[in-house]
A and B are shown apart, each in its own frame.
Chain A
Amino acid sequence: MIIPIRCFTCGKLIADKWEDFARRVKAGEEAGKVLDSLGVKRYCCRRMLLSHIEIADEIIKFYEVAGKGKQLRGQ
């Protein structure tokens, strides 16, 4: 759904690094190197960012449309 706040295994804070990570990987940087530069060393924390899919971004589209519908109906 949305990026977990902490690493499931060790408890390191990872959520604050997600947006930076996602943006840089999308821009074409190598994921492993981005993780290194963000200071994510252990493989438990690395998999958190590496394997995450932000489904929230997909779901929110439905709410955006629903919100627009309400506005059109004047609710």
Chain B
Amino acid sequence: MNVEILEKTDTNLRFVIRDADAPFVNALRRIIISEVPCMAIDEVVILENSSMIQDEVLAHRLGLVPIKTDLNAYNLREECVCKSKFGCNLCRVALTLDVEATDTTTVYSGSLVSENAAIVPVSANIPLVKLAPGQKLKLEADVRLGRGKEHAKWQPVAVCAYKNMPQIKINPKLCDACGECVKVCPKAVFAVAEGKVEVRNLLACTLCLDCVDACPKNPKAVEVTWDKNTFIFNLESTGALPPERILQEAVKILDKKTADFLKELAGEKDETS
């Protein structure tokens, strides 16, 4: 297997995986979506709320705020040494919010005060509520690690998807550069240059096959297939974790799952089963 990174930014990671198969790449995708832990606000104690947003709606909004996650310093609640459902310093972070409006104001996520300066909302400019003069908001919010399978707020990614590597062949004997495929392609994969149709942007191809349908030649001059063992994987983080870290964690989880499975196969059943 061979991995080539196409694009890497703070939140985005696009790479090609060669010599892999679909079940493996799909396992990776599903683990990233549902099992890589990240942090989110889970419980909110509302002490005072005279704003126009109801308590439960506000709590839901807070839950969806992506939080910068430190996976090294914190444990999942169910795996923590404290074995308490209320949590300890290793599995919970408290955020507090206390505002009283004198003018009409918007309360932003930046007003949330964290007990750990590293565990804060991804952006300080998320509007949480609007307050009219005299309205008050006072609350305590508990942040904890969780997994996407429990609630989508613990999903570390916005987009996590792959597609097969497209393979486009243009038969120079049949093609007369009529340009029909250039016109119809929604992703501008083709271009006409020097009386010939060229593939300019192979990776953008979505395999829709519109170009094949649009080709007036019979047999068709353009042929679109895909490589079953090469994948273009696209990952966009919510900002909670860097995208490369998400991938590393997913691989670790997959490794553990396969190791556990092999152990079970070898007959080392645990007592509960």
Contacts and interface: CB of A to CB of B under 8 A. Distances in A.
A64 B104 CA distance: 8
B64 A6 contact: yes
Using C-beta atoms within 8 Å of the partner chain, give the interface range for chain B: 20 to 34
B122 A63 contact: no
Using C-beta atoms within 8 Å of the partner chain, give the interface range for chain A: 20 to 34
A2 B130 contact: yes
Contacts of B61: 2, 5
Contact of A7 (B126, B130, B134, B158): B158
B132 A60 contact: yes
- Interface SS majority for chain B: loop
Contacts, number: 68
Which of A13, A42, A64, A70 has its CB near the most chain B CB atoms (within 10 A)? Answer: A13
Given A2-B53, A5-B61, A13 B127 contact: no
Interface in A2-57: 2-7, 10-13, 15-16, 18-19, 42, 56-57
Interface of A: 1-7, 10-13, 15-16, 18-19, 42, 56-57, 59-60, 63-64, 66-68, 70-71
Interface of B: 52-53, 61, 64-66, 104, 106, 109, 122-123, 125-127, 129-130, 132-135, 152, 155, 157-159, 236, 238-239
